[in-house]
């Protein structure tokens, strides 16, 4: 996700939505929950999403 997201980054310090580097998940820009990720995964038919999320969280906390 990151490489494509970073390539499409729009920045304008005066813009309401472009003054910060952000991405929405399930319509949210902050306070994104595991449930939000799981809803996106379900819409995109991603199998084993809960396991993948748990593995990423475990790796990131090392």
Structure tokens at 6: 């970073």
pLDDT tens column, 4-41: 555 566 778 888 777 776 778 898 888 999 999 999 99
Residue pair 52/37 in contact by the 8 Å Cβ criterion: no
The phi, psi pair for 16, rounded to 5°, reads -65, -40
The answer, yes or no, to whether residue 54 has pLDDT greater than 80, is yes
SS3 annotation, 15-55: CCCCCCCCCCECCECCCCCHHHHHHHHHHCCCCCHHHHHHH
Strand partners, 25: 28
What pTM does this model have?
0.67
Structure tokens at 17: 């939505």
């Amino acid at each position: 996700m990151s490489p494509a997201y970073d390539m499409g980054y729009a920045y304008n310090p005066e813009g309401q939505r472009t003054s910060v580097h952000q991405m929405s998940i399930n319509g949210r820009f902050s306070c994104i929950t595991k449930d939000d990720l799981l809803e996106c995964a379900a819409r995109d038919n991603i199998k084993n999403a809960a396991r993948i999320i748990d593995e990423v969280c475990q790796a990131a906390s090392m």
